[in-house]
Amino acid sequence: MVDVLSQNEIDALLAALSSGEMDAEELKKEDTQKKIRVYEFKRAVRFSKDHIRSLTRIHENFARYLTTYFSAQLRTFVQINVVQVEQLPYDEFIRSIPKMTILNIFEAEPLEGRMVLEVHPNVAYAMLDRMLGGQGLAPSKINALTEIETTIMERIFSRTFESLQEAWKTIIDIKPRLEALETNPQFMQIVSPNETIALISLSTKIGDTTGMINLCIPHVVIEPIMPRLSVHHWFVSQKKTRAPEEIEVLKQRVSKAKLPIVCELGSSSISIREFLGLSIGDVISLNKSIDQGLDIKVGDKLKFSGSPGSIKDRMAVQINEVFTEGVEEEYDE
């Protein structure tokens, strides 16, 4: 972080320079010296700031979907927000969560590997209490889950992966599937301890109960799609792709649209005096000869060239040439 000097510190520094206590040249030498930054190999930086921003955007949508889902399921006030997205070693994540917690281990095809959705016991038991008809209060003591409680938990959290699938749809179409539900972090070893993970922390409030939901995504799992997390790919992927049936409907509607078609014999310019003096039998010379094609316009665009004629006592025009898009009108002067 860059240190910002207060006004008093700035005044003291200027006074020291003016009195000769500090040498400006020495300060310049210190600035030109190489700054060494310690790199810890146990905390390898695998995610760039660009990747972190993209993951934040994705899981902000995930948080909104979860808020809607849990509010409907639990029939109470639920608020979920992204607090932080950071990268850290997997071992540090395991040591930071409670010894007794709810760990939803899942896979998301076509990605290879396992991820974890960790739910704080306060939040998980509040959900369980609401599902069983309670007020959604956090328990005073956390006990091991019974078989019935485990089944209910699996049903609750297996459906949350539909929200995760929807949130990731702009990047990749994944199919998350709950593989196991654990309560002891020591029995969960999805990657090596030093493997870098992306940890998405979601603050969760259910009624008066608060807690955290943490999504652990190992770098090795999303490494194949890392280029898609760039800002460039993010904005390109926002372009809407139309379904084939939608394109067909558009074609049918366009084919029924009516456009004016005009065939121009030519043009000429005369003065006001000549126009006022016109009488029956006068001839106005056009700027086209009889062996030149006529301009045929669709709307205001020149599309065809043709020759005049008649069919069954009606004036007609025969198309002799089709102009491709981008051809400009050319007039003889």
Is 86 within 8 Å of 143 (Cβ atoms)? no
The CATH number linked to 127 is: 3.40.1550.10
Q: Which residues contact 115 (CB under 8 A, 6 or more apart)?
A: 105, 106, 107, 108, 190, 215, 216, 217, 218, 221
From CA 151, how far away is CA 145, in angstroms rounded?
9
Residues spanned by the domain of 313:
258-265+289-323
pLDDT at position 332 over 50: no
pLDDT per residue as tens digits for the range 107-117: 999 999 999 99
Q: How many domains does the chain have?
A: 2
The partner residues of 79 in beta bridges, in order of sequence, read: 205
What SS3 state is found at 105?
strand
pLDDT at position 250 over 50: yes
Is 154 within 8 Å of 44 (Cβ atoms)? no
Segment (H or E) for 78: strand 78-89
Domain boundary among 189, 216, 233: 233
Residues 191 and 317 in one domain: no
Span 225-253, mean pLDDT? 73
Span 40-56, mean pLDDT? 78
From CA 123, how far away is CA 136, in angstroms rounded?
9
Instruction: Write the Ramachandran bin of 37: left for phi over 0, alpha for psi from -120 to 50, otherwise beta.
Output: beta
Residues 229 and 315 in one domain: no
- pLDDT-derived band at 22 (thresholds 50, 70, 90) equals low
pLDDT per residue as tens digits for the range 123-175: 888 888 888 888 777 776 677 788 888 888 888 888 889 999 999 998 889 99
pLDDT per residue as tens digits for the range 277-308: 888 888 888 888 777 888 888 888 888 888 88
Q: Which residues contact 15 (CB under 8 A, 6 or more apart)?
A: none
Residues 91 and 218 in one domain: yes
pLDDT per residue as tens digits for the range 173-186: 999 999 988 888 88
Distance of CA 304 to the CA centre of its chain: 44
Q: Is residue 36 part of a domain?
A: no
Q: Is residue 26 part of a domain?
A: no
Q: Is residue 217 part of a domain?
A: yes
Residues 311 and 179 in one domain: no
Q: Is residue 251 part of a domain?
A: no
pLDDT at position 327 over 60: no
Residues 147 and 56 in one domain: yes
Residues 207 and 312 in one domain: no
Q: Is residue 91 part of a domain?
A: yes
- Full-model pTM: 0.58
Q: Is residue 32 part of a domain?
A: no
Q: Is residue 50 part of a domain?
A: yes
User: What's the number of CA atoms in the CB half-sphere (13 Å) around residue 22?
Assistant: 12
Is 190 within 8 Å of 113 (Cβ atoms)? yes
Q: Is residue 157 part of a domain?
A: yes
For the chain, the average pLDDT equals 82
Residues 202 and 315 in one domain: no
What SS3 state is found at 65?
helix
- pLDDT-derived band at 24 (thresholds 50, 70, 90) equals low
Closest CA to 200 of 36, 47, 309: 47
pLDDT at position 39 over 80: no
